[in-house]
């Protein structure tokens, strides 16, 4: 199954009944899949929206109407969706937004990239908000993290971003779609159902009184703190006894894994920390790793975005090496292993001096 | 003494914040009266606008879900698709509907979404201080057309109801005004009819309401009502623009 299809089927199994989208490469297989599958599922609604703006606002509407809703896009389309994501964060509405990232800026290219990291992890739209960002590195994770995204969105009443890329979207791998027999129940006391037998519900992000807005923003902030405490996810690979830790996510982490395997065979002590949540960022494991080794090698399919979070996590400790290539063109495991190897020996010589 | 009129139940106790002579408070009251009389208040979901009526939820006692400026018909689409048994309506100004929200409104209408739009046309951006709207008349002086709207610079006033009337998804479109007691009465009837079209699943429905904005028109309330009659309704003629039997 392709990564894009895996997201679609997993979303449906997770109870998503509302999908709104607009065509853009390299994620078109996902809306196409949803168009077909949601017509088979009772209560399923698929609308090809007139724009990304309309699509995300339909998600907002279906969400405030109590449904599990999703949209997907790729980088230029994600820029358009930021308005709606900001409103959903402000109105505290759940929803899942998939970004199958392609190169930018502007129209960029249709090839895979990781250059939307800043946009995804810093809120993306206007205002002081955060979204949980999940970064799959395989087709299986495309499915698993999509299911998780719906639960996290409902748990926190907040939009959740699945940050994939063009390779993960198109790639085909065996996959087991997560099917949960007993669905988690979430309290949905914000849904507009008509004010029958209760006071009218007002779901808004707007405050006339600056004090009210401040209170609202502190409330959101405390929610983001809870996410930071509870929702950090990462994977470590061959970190035991390593002298250098590679930091990479998504497709870059897969390339890095291949490179590390080669390097280990050659006797180089290299391991990896792979963030799965890009926000909240797994700073603690990086700090922990810094107690055992000095050198961190960050590899991204961009000119350097996550590297800033690594730097912040290290708080001045350790030494950061970076290799990045912007969207469309990226290193093979063999190439990357040569680059890491060069940095590895340079670092070792420095330590010996 | 016999009680012949009282505040509609669908209207909250809060006094209106609108300027003297403004049409919003009349339109709010008419919506509330229709919701009372049709017993739809408990089924209604409103998508309020960005603009002077941004806090319509302080007045109308129905469930409300905010939309970004211009996106009300997309949000209403999402709500209606998730809750087909509710009555979903957006409340939008001329800038909201016919400038920033043109695409959303056009395509919601074209899909024949079973929603109702209450379109308040006062030919000006009210809340932001009286800038030129897509519906401002030729020659109309606003803060961003200080010498009057010109064709060369600003193009023509947008007749958005007539544009939507070309779409097959549209079931009911009427232009009314709230400048005279008779017109207020017609407005109420039009709102009720629009909801009826939605309930009968007939298609997209919209009521365009010419509404006075004395503050930004730099007129008093009486002059504003007269201006709707003598000037504005010449560009935007009142009456049913489209009605499919339902």
pLDDT of the residue at A294: 97
d(CA A190, CA A331): 47
pLDDT of the residue at A184: 81
Please state whether beta strands B44-47 and A319-324 pair in parallel, antiparallel, or not at all (unpaired).
Answer: unpaired
Higher pLDDT, A187 or B101: B101
Inter-chain CB proximity A195 and B76 less than 8 Å: no
Any residues with CB less than 8 A from the CB of A331 and at least 6 apart, and which? A255, A299, A323, A325, A339
Any residues with CB less than 8 A from the CB of A254 and at least 6 apart, and which? A137, A138
Any residues with CB less than 8 A from the CB of A102 and at least 6 apart, and which? A25, A26, A74, A75, A76, A108, A109, A110, A111, A112, A113, A165, A166, A327
HSE (CB half, 13 Å, CA atoms) of B227? 20
DSSP state of B57: G
- Interface A–B counts its CB contacts (< 8 A) at 143
- Please state, in angstroms and as integers, the Cα–Cα distance from residue A95 to each residue in A76, A84, A157, B3, B80, following that order: 20, 11, 8, 49, 17
Cβ atoms A71, A59 nearer than 8 A: yes
DSSP state of B145: B
Please state whether beta strands B124-125 and B131-132 pair in parallel, antiparallel, or not at all (unpaired).
Answer: antiparallel
What is the pTM for the complete model shown? 0.97
Q: What is the rounded average pLDDT of the residues B34-62?
A: 96
3-class secondary-structure state, position A85: helix
Q: How far is B61 from chain A (nearest CA, A)?
A: 6
Conformation bin of residue A303: beta by default, left when phi > 0, alpha when psi is -120 to 50: alpha
Of A53, A58, A65, Cβ closest to residue B83: A65
Q: What is the rounded average pLDDT of the residues B51-68?
A: 95
Residue A50: phi and psi, rounded to 5, are -80, -15
Q: How far is A321 from chain B (nearest CA, A)?
A: 43
Of B64, B86, B103, Cβ closest to residue A50: B103
Inter-chain CB proximity A60 and B78 less than 8 Å: yes
In this structure, how many other beta carbons lie within 10 angstroms of the beta carbon of residue B128? 14
State the helix-helix crossing angle for A3-13 and A139-156, rounded to 10 degrees.
Answer: 40
d(CA A78, CA A119): 9
Residue B17 at interface with chain A, using a CB cutoff of 8 Å: no
Inter-chain CB proximity A193 and B63 less than 8 Å: yes
Any residues with CB less than 8 A from the CB of B136 and at least 6 apart, and which? B123, B124, B142, B145, B149, B154, B157
Any residues with CB less than 8 A from the CB of B183 and at least 6 apart, and which? B176, B177, B238
Structural domains of chain B, with CATH: 24-243 (3.40.50.970)
d(CA A131, CA A93): 11
pLDDT of the residue at A300: 97
Any residues with CB less than 8 A from the CB of B64 and at least 6 apart, and which? A192, A200, A201, A202, A203, A204, B45, B46, B47, B48, B56, B57
In this structure, how many other beta carbons lie within 10 angstroms of the beta carbon of residue A210? 8
Any residues with CB less than 8 A from the CB of A106 and at least 6 apart, and which? A76
pLDDT of the residue at A333: 97
Q: How far is B139 from chain A (nearest CA, A)?
A: 33
- State the DSSP string of B86-139: SEEEEEEEHHIIIIITHHHHHHHHHTT-S-EEEEEE-SEETTTTSEE-TTPPTT
pLDDT of the residue at A87: 98
Residue A342: phi and psi, rounded to 5, are -60, -45
DSSP state of A52: H
Rounded-to-10 torsion of CA B126, B127, B131, B135: -40
Inter-chain CB proximity B75 and A60 less than 8 Å: yes
Residue B106 at interface with chain A, using a CB cutoff of 8 Å: yes
Mean pLDDT, chain A cut into blocks of 10 residues (353 residues total) = 98 98 97 98 98 98 98 98 98 98 95 97 97 98 98 98 97 95 86 97 94 97 98 97 98 98 98 98 98 97 97 97 90 96 96 82
pLDDT of the residue at A93: 98
- Print burial letters for A198-209: b (CB count within 10 Å at least 16), e (below 16): eebbbbbbbeee
pLDDT of the residue at A352: 85
- Tens digit of each residue's pLDDT (9 = 90 or more) over B177-226: 999 999 999 999 999 999 999 999 999 999 999 999 999 999 999 999 99
pLDDT of the residue at A92: 98
pLDDT of the residue at A38: 98
pLDDT of the residue at A312: 98
DSSP state of A49: -
d(CA A48, CA A341): 48
Inter-chain CB proximity B57 and A45 less than 8 Å: no
Q: Which residues of A touch B48 (CB under 8 A)?
A: 204
d(CA B104, CA A232): 38
Topology agreement, domain A3-230 and domain A235-352: yes
The CATH class that applies to domain A235-352 reads alpha beta
d(CA B79, CA B70): 16
Cβ atoms A33, A4 nearer than 8 A: yes
What residue ranges do the domains of chain A occupy?
3-230, 235-352
Q: Which residues of A touch B76 (CB under 8 A)?
A: 61
pLDDT of the residue at A119: 98
3-class secondary-structure state, position A224: helix
- What is the side-by-side strand order in the sheet with A277-279? A45-48, A18-21, A69-73, A95-101, A159-165, A132-134, A277-279
Q: Considering only CA atoms, which of A36, A134, A124 is closest in space to residue A75?
A: A124
Of A61, A69, A206, Cβ closest to residue B74: A61
pLDDT of the residue at A351: 84
d(CA B211, CA B124): 10
**CB-based burial label for A301 (10 Å; 0-12, 13-18, 19+):** buried
**CB-based burial label for A137 (10 Å; 0-12, 13-18, 19+):** buried
Q: What is the rounded average pLDDT of the residues B155-173?
A: 98
Q: How many residues does chain B have?
A: 246
- Tens digit of each residue's pLDDT (9 = 90 or more) over B106-131: 999 999 999 999 999 999 999 999 99
- Print burial letters for B46-57: b (CB count within 10 Å at least 16), e (below 16): bbbbbbbbbbbb
Of A65, A194, A206, Cβ closest to residue B78: A65
Residue B145: phi and psi, rounded to 5, are -135, 65
A3-230 carries CATH number 3.40.50.970 = yes
Q: Considering only CA atoms, which of B149, B203, B213 is closest in space to residue B172?
A: B203
């Amino acid at each position: 199954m392709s990564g894009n299809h895996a997201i679609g089927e997993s979303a449906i199994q997770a109870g998503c009944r509302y999908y709104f989208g607009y065509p853009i490469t390299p994620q078109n297989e996902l809306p196409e899949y949803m168009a077909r599958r949601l017509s088979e599922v009772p209560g399923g609604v698929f609308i090809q929206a007139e724009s990304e703006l309309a699509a995300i606002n339909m998600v907002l509407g279906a969400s405030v109407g109590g449904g599990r809703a999703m949209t997907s896009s790729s980088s230029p389309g994600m820029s358009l969706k930021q308005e709606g994501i900001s409103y959903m964060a402000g109105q505290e509405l759940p929803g899942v937004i998939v970004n199958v990232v392609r190169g930018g800026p502007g129209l960029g290219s249709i090839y895979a990239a990781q250059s939307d990291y800043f946009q995804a992890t810093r809120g993306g739209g206007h205002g002081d908000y955060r979204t949980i960002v999940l970064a799959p590195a395989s087709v299986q994770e495309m499915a698993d993290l999509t299911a998780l995204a719906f639960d996290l969105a409902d748990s926190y009443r907040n939009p959740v971003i699945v940050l994939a890329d063009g390779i993960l979207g198109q790639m085909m791998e065996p996959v087991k779609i997560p099917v949960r027999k007993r669905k988690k129940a979430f309290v949905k006391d914000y849904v507009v159902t008509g004010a029958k037998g209760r006071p009218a519900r007002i779901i808004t992000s707007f405050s006339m009184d600056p004090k009210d807005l401040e209170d609202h923003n502190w409330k959101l902030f405390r929610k983001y703190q809870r996410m930071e405490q509870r929702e950090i996810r990462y994977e470590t690979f061959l970190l035991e006894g390593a002298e250098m830790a590679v930091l990479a996510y998504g497709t870059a982490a897969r390339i890095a894994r291949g490179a590390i395997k080669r390097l280990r065979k050659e006797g180089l002590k290299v391991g990896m920390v792979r963030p799965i949540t890009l926000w909240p960022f797994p700073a603690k494991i990086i700090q922990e790793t810094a107690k055992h080794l000095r050198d961190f090698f960050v590899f991204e399919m961009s000119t350097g975005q996550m590297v800033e979070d690594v730097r912040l996590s290290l708080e001045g400790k350790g030494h950061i090496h970076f290799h990045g290539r912007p969207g469309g063109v990226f290193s093979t495991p063999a190439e990357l292993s040569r680059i890491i190897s060069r940095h590895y020996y340079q670092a070792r010589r420095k330590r010996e001096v | 003494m016999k009680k012949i009129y009282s505040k509609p139940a669908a209207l909250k106790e809060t006094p209106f914040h609108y300027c003297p002579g403004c049409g919003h408070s009349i339109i709010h009251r008419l919506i509330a009266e229709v919701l009372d009389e049709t017993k739809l208040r408990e089924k209604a979901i409103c998508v309020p606008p960005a603009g002077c009526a941004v806090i319509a939820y302080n007045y109308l006692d129905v469930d409300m879900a905010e939309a970004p400026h211009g996106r009300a018909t997309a949000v209403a689409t999402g709500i209606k698709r998730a809750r087909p048994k509710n009555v979903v309506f957006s409340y939008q100004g001329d800038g909201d509907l016919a400038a920033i929200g043109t695409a959303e409104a056009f395509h919601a209408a074209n899909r024949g979404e079973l929603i109702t739009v209450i379109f308040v046309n006062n030919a000006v951006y009210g809340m932001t201080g009286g800038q030129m709207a897509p519906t401002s008349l030729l020659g109309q002086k606003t803060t961003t057309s200080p010498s009057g709207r010109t064709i060369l610079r600003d193009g023509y006033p947008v007749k958005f109801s007539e544009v939507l009337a070309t779409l097959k998804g549209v079931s009911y479109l009427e232009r009314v005004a709230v400048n005279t007691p008779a017109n207020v009465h017609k407005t109420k009837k039009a709102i009720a009819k629009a909801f009826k079209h939605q309930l009968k699943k007939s298609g997209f429905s919209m009521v365009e309401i010419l509404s006075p904005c004395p503050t930004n028109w730099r007129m008093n309330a009486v002059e504003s009502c007269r201006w709707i009659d003598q000037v504005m309704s010449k560009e935007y003629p009142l009456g049913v623009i489209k009605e499919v039997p339902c």
